[in-house]
Every structure is written in structure tokens, then in C-alpha cells.
Amino acid sequence: MMSKQELIEFFMDRDILIDPDLLNALDESATPETIYSMLRERSPQTTPKAREHEGVEFTDADTSMKPSQPPSLRYAVKIITSYEEQSHKREVQHFIEHFNKRYAVLERMLQQRQELQHLTNIKRVLSKRERETVSIIGMVVEKVVTKSGSTMLTVEDTTGQIKVMISKNQQELQQASQEITEDDIIGIRGFSADKFMFANSLIFPDIPLTKELRKSPDDCYAVCMSDIHVGSKYFLEEKFERFLEWLNGNVGNEQQQEIARKVKYCFIVGDVVDGIGIYPGQEEELTIKDIYEQYAEFASYVKKIPKHIAVIICPGNHDAVRLAEPQPPLREFLPQLVNEANVFMVSNPSLVNIHASDVFPGFDVLLYHGTSFDFYVANVDIVRAQGGYERPDIIMKYLLKRRHLAPTHRSVSYIPMVAGDPLIIDPVPDFLMTGHIHRSSVANYRNVTVVSGSCFQDTTPFQVKVGHVPEPARVPVIHLQTRNVKLMKF
């Protein structure tokens, strides 16, 4: 019989991380070759379906302890955009240049839309004296509802401003106008009429209908979670430990363990700790009252994730970096993870490419914590009417349609960047992963899979006060070969 160290080295040479409990339970008469053959012969099966909801499969995790199987395949991560710029003094001119850059990018997207025939600028429309079919691109400065029930938009481009009337008799167009907020950059098609314009259609930058639905040639998975809130007395430590045990293949039925073995990517989309001084009275709700100790505790959990899984982490509004977006990576607060080869710390927002190979271009994953969501739930009736905080997928679709993560100036605090607006959604991602809402939600919008991570924090008094109803400990598990998603409930 080999020693334990020799057994560990035997299996490591074969890319198998053997569980300590299994190691202790091995029969002395069993040879390593016999055990290896037994593990290799176990065949994958399909996880049984529990119930369906918008194409998402729900399943409860079996939490009984089981021996783990060897992981398969290797991860590949490339950081495409992650913002490292340090804070410094900004002038009014920086905001002007920032908005001009944003406008130019979104204008180019709209110029590619076939619906915008007879495209011209506002100055030329204002100079027309006869009724004429025209199309313009502009930024919405103001939206008001007239006494008669029609909607009047004030729209501007680089040449001037114009009033655009949306008649109350155009019911479909009126409904579309309800989702418009200030600073939206849109296309408008209609006709000119003596210094103003009547609209017949509204066009958003949107996701092209030609967007490809990429699928990996490999049978592997990615998981998405957010809002762990380590340090809070409402942190669901036991459920989070159970999730980590599942990732390590120590719990779950045979089918669930097979999925865990094939997980290659773990996205953690902000609010990894509860933070300090985020809201009045928070200190009374903390079990760890030192911010660095909160991060040290979080790092200890991350180190329990198997090394064959890439862990991609971005910050959120509870994290200790600046609140203004883009928020820089958490390296300063997580020095324990800087040298971990499988850990990638990126900004909020950021764009990463995963699982590329010689035969597959990989998936572009846009990470955004979701701080702007609060504004759109509070200020856009159509978002609220479709579920508000209970439907983060609706909010994500709303933002994808605008190709911007916070299109309204006052929706988030942000850093104006002359080089370009980091909140613009360009290029079009394969996945948009968010958090903040504390509810899991998955949907497909024009071949972009939108995924909201759940949380590992129980309902707080503040959430009760404002009417939030979290659904904690639900982790979306994405099959990269089919783009199907399961929600694992821990």
C-alpha cells in the first residue's frame, strides 16, 4: 500500500485532486491503478429537470458528502478591458469631452440602422419650411407629457435642438416613448413641420439581429454569483460553504457532481464584502468591523475554490474602492489573491474573453455590478410595471437596447474619461453578468445571455424597509456548450 503522499502524487500526475475523506476511506487492498480505473469509468449523466422558468432549469443541490471525480479541460481567460486609472481632478471640460465621445460612438451605431432613411442633422430640419420625411439622431434633453396626452421630446445633436411631438393617437409609439429617459441617444424618423418634428418611429442603438449565438465545442460550465457580503451578520456562511463544497465535488448527487467537475469559470460580480459605513447603522449589523479583515475572510473562501477553476472578481458599491464608475480592481484589498494563478481581478465594468482556443473564439463576458439598476427601477414606469427589482433581466435588456450600462447622467456616479466612455456596451458581448439586486435571473436578448447573480446574504432590515425581496443562495450554472442555464439552490 502506498503512503498518502505517494497516492496524492499518483493522482496529481493524472490531473486528479483526490478528496481527503476518500483518501482516508480507501481499502488497503485497493491499488491506485484500480481506483483510477474506477473513477475514469464513471460516465456523465444529465441532471434531472425540476421545474422550468423562462428556459432556466431549477434544481436543489444534494448536500450529502460524496467522493469527487477528476476535473476535465483547462480554463482560458483574457482580460479585454479593465480600467486602472487613478482618481485625479476633473474639470467641466472633461465631462463635455466624455459626453461627446459617448455621443459619437452611439451615433455611429445608429447610422448603421436601415430604418433611419433620409438621415440629416437638426439644423437642416429646422431650416425646412415644407413638410418632408426626415430622420435625425440626437440626445434626449427633456421629455414632457402635454395637457392633451401627447409626448413632447426635446432632442439635440451637435448642430442644435428641436422639439419632437409623439401624438397620443399613436398608441404603439406612445408606449415606446414611456421608456425614454433623459440622455438617451436615439434615432427618430418622422416629418418636419415648421421648426419642430412629428415622430413616426423611435430607433435605439440596440443589439444587431445578426448577433451570433456562440456555443463552445467543449462540455464545460461557468457559474455566476455576486453580493456575498462577507462580514455581515446576515452573511449565509453555511450556504456559501455548501456551494464551495459542491464546487470541490464533495456534495451533490452524481449528476450534480458531474457538473461541478466541468465548471471552469466562476464569476463574482461585486459586493464581495459588506463594507464599512455604507448606510446609517450598518456597524450594528457587522460581525467583522475591520474592512481589511472582511477582505481577508473573503480571500480565504476564494482559496477554497479548486485551482482548475478560473475566478473572475469585480467590485460593487459595497466594496472599498471608489463608488464612481468605473471602479478599479480589488487588488489593494485582496493582496492574498494577487499571486493566485487562477484569480483574475478586474474593474466594474469590465470585459473578459473566456474559453478561447485554436478552433473557437471564446465568449466575451461583460461584467457590471448593477448600481444603475436602482435608478431605472425608480424612474422608468415600464421597467417597474414588468417586475422592477424582481426582474433584473428586464433592466439588463433595457440597457442592452441603449448599448449603455448607465445612459442617464444622474443614474450613477461616474468618472468622465476623455479616451472614451467605459459604460458603453461595445463590442456586443455574449454574456452580460450582473448582481446588486440579490435575485437570480436569466434570459436571452438577441443572442446575448443576461445573467444576474443571486446573493449569499439573508434579508436585511434595510431591504424590508424598501420592499426588496431577495432570493439568496441561488447560483446560475451555464452550460457553455448549449448556453442552457440551471439555477442551483444551496
In order along the chain (490 residues), what is the average pLDDT of each group of 10 residues?
58 51 55 57 36 44 53 83 81 90 96 91 92 95 94 96 95 92 97 92 96 97 98 97 96 93 98 94 94 98 97 98 96 97 98 97 98 96 93 97 97 90 98 97 97 95 83 97 96
Whether 161 and 219 share a structural domain: no
Provide, for the chain, the percentages of residues in helix, strand and coil under a 3-state DSSP scheme, each rounded to the nearest 5. 25, 25, 45
Say if residue 250 is in the same domain as residue 313: yes
Cβ atoms of 444 and 55 closer than 8 Å: yes
Instruction: Give the residue from 159, 306, 291, 179 showing the smallest Cα distance to 232.
Output: 291
Check whether residue 173 and residue 218 sit in a common domain: no
- Does residue 61 form part of some domain? no
Among 451, 453, 450, which Cα is nearest to 400's? 450
For the chain, the residue count is: 490
Return the pLDDT at 2. Answer: 61
Are residues 198 and 266 both part of a single domain?
Answer: no
For residue 456, the model assigns a pLDDT of: 98
Rounded (10°) CA dihedral 147, 148, 151, 153: -60
CA distance 160 to 152: 17
Please tell me the predicted confidence (pLDDT) of residue 39.
52
Residue 65 placed within a domain: no
Which domain range does residue 191 map to? Answer: 113-203
Grid cell digits, residue 392: 433584473
Taking the chain, what is the end-to-end CA distance rounded to the nearest angstrom? 38
The answer on 393 and 292 residing in a single domain is: yes
**Residue 58 lies inside a defined structural domain of this protein:** no
Q: Can you say whether the dihedral through the CA atoms of 456, 436, 260, 302 is positive or negative?
A: negative
Same domain, 257 and 305: yes
- How far is the CA of 449 from the CAs of 41, 429, 479, 484, in angstroms? 34, 9, 12, 10
DSSP designation for 111 = H
Sheet (strand 310-314) strand order: 51-53, 56-60, 485-489, 474-479, 221-225, 263-269, 310-314, 343-345
Give me the residue label for grid cell 455574449.
Answer: 430
Q: Report yes or no: 177 and 151 within 8 Å, Cβ to Cβ.
A: yes
- Residue 299 belongs to a domain: yes
94 inside domain: no
Q: Is 75 in contact with 354 (CB distance < 8 Å)? A: yes
**364 and 218 in one domain?**
yes
Same domain, 272 and 336: yes
> Both 14 and 126 in a single domain?
no
3-class secondary structure, 489? strand
215 and 199, same domain (yes or no): no
Indicate the number of domains in the chain.
3
Q: What is the CATH number of the domain that holds 401?
A: 3.60.21.50
